[in-house]
Amino acid sequence: DTAVSQTPKYLVTQMGNDKSIKCEQNLGHDTMYWYKQDSKKFLKIMFSYNNKELIINETVPNRFSPKSPDKAHLNLHINSLELGDSAVYFCASSRRTTGNTIYFGEGSWLTVV
């Protein structure tokens, strides 16, 4: 069974569109994350939610808005997509307790044309 699942896996869309990536985890974790991997493979955190509360909000454009309807889901909505938003977006989850392993989804490849 998939532990952290995100959809869609591939997304090609035009500049200016609005799109969402959904994420669900069935691990019983209380903390979820969104990470972005750029074309050079560099991974950087975007957001972190704990029990539906926003904990970490790195410097990302306001066009990116995470939404956590419950602690098993963390969706990422992106408005007015730009070419520079093309990247792989990884959802992840962990237990809140110190040092717990963060498990990642399979990634969503977003291409803006």
Partner 1 sequence: AQKVTQAQTEISVVEKEDVTLDCVYETRDTTYYLFWYKQPPSGELVFLIRRNSFDEQNEISGRYSWNFQKSTSSFNFTITASQVVDSAVYFCALSEAVGSARQLTFGSGTQLTVLP
Residues that bind partner 1 (CB under 8 A): 31, 33, 35, 40-45, 48, 50, 55-56, 88, 90, 94, 96, 98-107, 109
- Shortest Å, Cβ 95 to partner 1: 10
Residues 73-76: contacts with CB within 8 Å, 24+ apart?
Answer: 73/22, 73/23, 73/24, 73/25, 73/32, 74/23, 74/32, 74/33, 74/34, 74/47, 74/49, 75/20, 75/21, 75/22, 75/23, 76/20, 76/21, 76/23, 76/34, 76/46, 76/47
- Shortest Å, Cβ 49 to partner 1: 9
Nearer to partner 1, 42 or 62 (CB): 42
Nearer to partner 1, 35 or 64 (CB): 35
- Shortest Å, Cβ 88 to partner 1: 7
Nearer to partner 1, 17 or 100 (CB): 100
